[in-house]
Amino acid sequence: MAKVAVYTMDGAENGQIELNDQIFGVEVNIPVMHEVVVAHLAKLRQGTQSALTRAE
C-alpha cells in the first residue's frame, strides 16, 4: 500500500495515511477518462442556443 502525507489546514504535516492499491494503484486509462470528461462537460451545457432557419 502506498503512504501519503496528511496536512492540516495551515499546511503542517499531520501524519500519514495508507491508500488501497486496488483503488489507487491501477493504471490510468486515458481514452476512457477523456470520454467521461467530455460527457460531463456536455451535460453541463444549457442547450438553449437556437439558430434561425431560412423560413424564420
pLDDT band at 56 (very low <50, low <70, confident <90, very high): confident
Is a pLDDT exceeding 90 seen at residue 4?
Answer: yes
- Expressed as residue numbers, the domain containing 16 is 2-44
pLDDT band at 7 (very low <50, low <70, confident <90, very high): very high
Rounded to whole angstroms, how far apart are CA atoms 54 and 3? Answer: 63
- SS3 (DSSP) at 6: strand
Mean pLDDT (whole number) for 15-21: 94
54 located within any domain: no
Q: What is the pLDDT of residue 5?
A: 96
**Phi, psi of 13, rounded to the nearest 5 degrees:** -70, 135
52 located within any domain: no
Rounded to whole angstroms, how far apart are CA atoms 5 and 19? Answer: 11
Domain count, the chain: 1
Q: Output DSSP code: residue 20.
A: P
Rounded to whole angstroms, how far apart are CA atoms 5 and 3? Answer: 7
53 located within any domain: no
Mean pLDDT (whole number) for 1-19: 94
Mean pLDDT (whole number) for 9-25: 93
